[in-house]
Structure 1
Amino acid sequence: MRKGLFDFGPALGYFFRKNDPNRQTNFNLRTMHFINKLSMAMFLVGLCVVLYRLFTR
């Protein structure tokens, strides 16, 4: 079994990292990152709902 299969550190770091002042940003990049974070959050909420329904039946 692969050692890093369930390593969620990079995914959680994506949510909680600070802005890099040396990196130039624009509207498109900020929008892309917002949509990525929103879609991951919606997926996690949906996964929690599915698991809740699975274990409460």
Structure 2
Amino acid sequence: MNGKNLFDFGPALGYFFRKNDPERKTNFNLRTMHFINKLSMAMFLVGLCVLLYRWFIR
């Protein structure tokens, strides 16, 4: 593993900003799962920002 792959956030950002695929079937459970995944990733990033702020700014 090299350092370039360690900080490759492209797939995670693509998950947030991808468009809906009209050929893929969807239902309530799938939409709920994706919403919870996006929410948990956003909460993780906010927490990471708070920790970095506390470590480096204070």
TM over 0.5: yes
Counterpart of 2:43? 42
Q: 1:5 to 1:56 in 2, by over 3 A?
A: closer
Partners of 1:56 and 1:13 in 2: CA distance: 30
TM-score, normalised by the number of residues in structure 2? 0.89
In structure 2, runs of 5+ residues without a counterpart are none
Compare the two structures and name the one with the higher helix fraction: 2
Aligned amino acid, residue 44 of structure 1? L
Aligned amino acid, residue 55 of structure 1? F
For the aligned residue pairs, the C-alpha RMSD in angstroms reads: 1.1
Q: How many pairs were matched up?
A: 57
Deviation readout 1:9-47 (Å, 9 max, x if unpaired)? 111000000000000000000000000000000000000
Asked if residue 16 in structure 1 is aligned to residue 17 in structure 2, the reply is: yes
The runs of at least 4 consecutive aligned structure 1 residues that moved more than 3 Å come to none
Counterpart of 1:6? 7
In structure 1, runs of 5+ residues without a counterpart are none
SS at match of 2:7: coil
Identity of aligned residues (%): 88
